[in-house]
Structure 1
Amino acid sequence: MSEYGDVGGKEKMSPKLRRFLQTLLVVILACYTTLLAYQSLSRVGTPSVRIAEDAAASEKLIKDYNSNNNNYLPLVRADDGIPRDPDFTSEIPSATATVKPPTTTLEDLFISVKTTKHYHQSRLLIILKTWFQLAKAQTWFFTDSEDPEFQKKTNGHMINTNCSSSHSRKALCCKMSVEFDTFIESNK
C-alpha cells in the first residue's frame, strides 16, 4: 500500500501530476477560445469587401448583357444585388384556387319510383298530385303490371318490369335490374 492509499487496487494520482494536468487543460481551453475569437473577428470585414466585388461584377454583367442582347429583355439588379430578368419573381405561384364544382340541373336527374299495382290508387296518385308536377320529365315509375290509366297520367313514364308483385328479394332485384338498365340508357 502506498502512502496515498489504494482505491480498488490502484494507486491515486499524485497531487502534483493532477495539478499539472488541470493547468494544461486550462491552457488548451484558453488557446482554443482565443483561436475561435480570432477567426470570428477576422471575418468581420470580409463580407463587405466581397459584396462590393459582387456588386461591381453584377453591374458589369448587366451592362455586358444588355449591350449584347438588344432583342431580349434587359437584366436589372434586384434588391439582393443579383441580376435578373425584370419579369422574374421569386414568389411561388399559389395553387389555392378550388375547382368549381359541376352544376347539376333538373335535366341531369333520374328519379325512380318502385311500386306495385296494389298501390297505384293509394300511393302513386298522391305522388302524381304533388312533387311529380315539378319533375315530370325526370321521374320514372317501375311497376309489375300494365295500367293504361296511370300510363297516361305519367306521360308514358310507367314501365312494366314483368316481375313478380311479391316483396321477395328475387322480385325486388328483378325490378331494380330494370330500373338500373333504364337509368344507364338515360345518360343522366
Structure 2
Amino acid sequence: MDKGEPAVFTLDKTKMPRCRRLFQLLLFAVFVLYMGLLFYHNYYSRGSLSQQVTSWEGVDGLRMEVAKLGWRENGELLLVPLKGRPLLKKHIFERTLSQQPSINDQYENGLSTEVSSATATIRPPATTLDDVFISVKTTKSYHSSRLPIILKTWFQLAKRQTWFFTDTDDEEFQLKTNGHMINTNCSSSHNRKALCCKMSVEFDTFLNTDKK
C-alpha cells in the first residue's frame, strides 16, 4: 500500500451475530442470578423454609407446639400442628386489686394455720420464787459457825423456800428456820452410803413440798 492511498478497513459480518448472542446470554445469566438472589433475600428475611418448632396460642386458650413452614403470598404465616404433641392448657388468673390479700390477711391466715395444726397451746414457762426449792446440807459441828450468817442474809428473802438438812436435832435453829430444819438421821461422814441417805431424805422432802 502506497503512502498516498487511503487506508480501508473491512469487517467480518459473520462474527457479529455470534458476539451478540454471547452478550445476550451473559445478560440473561446476570438477570437470572439477580432474581435468584432477590428471591432468596425476600423469602428468608420473612421466614425460613426449614421447619421451626414454636409455641402458638389459640383463641380458646390452648397452647400447642406447631411447625413454622413459611409465609404465604398474602403475608400469612403458615403453621402446621405437630402430631403427637400434647396440648397444654394455659391458665389465666385475673384478680382485681381489691381481691389481693393484704398483709393483715396473710398474717391472720398464717396464724390460723399454725393454731389449727397445733394440738395444744403451749404457754411460756413462768417460774416464781414459790416454785424454788433451796437445800442446805450441814452437820452439828457447823451449826453455830455457818448457819447464823445464812439466817441473817439471803434466808430472809426465801424463808419458805429454804430447807436445812443436818444429822441431829437442834431446837434453837429449828425455831430460827421456821421449822425447816430436818434431821436426816444419817451419818455425818462423806462416804457414798451417808451421802445417799441424805439425798434420799432431801428428795422426799422436795416431793412433799410440791415444788417444781
In the superposition, the TM-score normalised over structure 1's length comes to 0.55
Share of identical aligned residues, percent? 61
- 2:181 matched residue in structure 1: 158
Deviations 1:117-140 (A, max 9, x none): 111111111111110000001111
Q: Distance in 2 between matches of 1:107 and 1:178?
A: 21
1:175 to 1:93, Cα distance in 2 relative to 1, 3 A? same
Letter in 1 for 2:166: T
Of 71, 95, 106, 2:129 maps to 106
Alignment of 1:11-160 (within 5 A): 31=50, 34=52, 36-37=53-54, 40=55, 42-43=56-57, 45-47=59-61, 78-79=95-96, 92-94=109-111, 95=114, 100-160=123-183
Unaligned runs of 5+ in 1: 1-29, 56-76, 83-88
Query: Per-residue deviation at 1:173?
Result: 1.1
Distance across 1 between alignment mates of 2:50 and 2:205? 92
Tell me which amino acid in the other structure corresponds to 1:93: G
- The 5 A counterparts of 1:169-188 are 169-188=192-211
| 1:90–1:176 distance in 2 versus 1, CA, 3 Å | closer
Instruction: Letter of the 1:169 partner, please give it.
Output: R
Question: Hey, which of these two has a bigger chunk of strand by percent?
Answer: 2
Gaps of 5+ in 2: 1-48, 63-88, 100-104, 116-120
TM-score of the superposed pair, with normalisation by structure 2: 0.49
Distance 1:120 1:90, change over 3 A: closer
2:124 alignment partner, SS class = coil
Name the structure, 1 or 2, with higher relative contact order (CA <8 Å, separation 6+): 1
SS at match of 2:190: coil
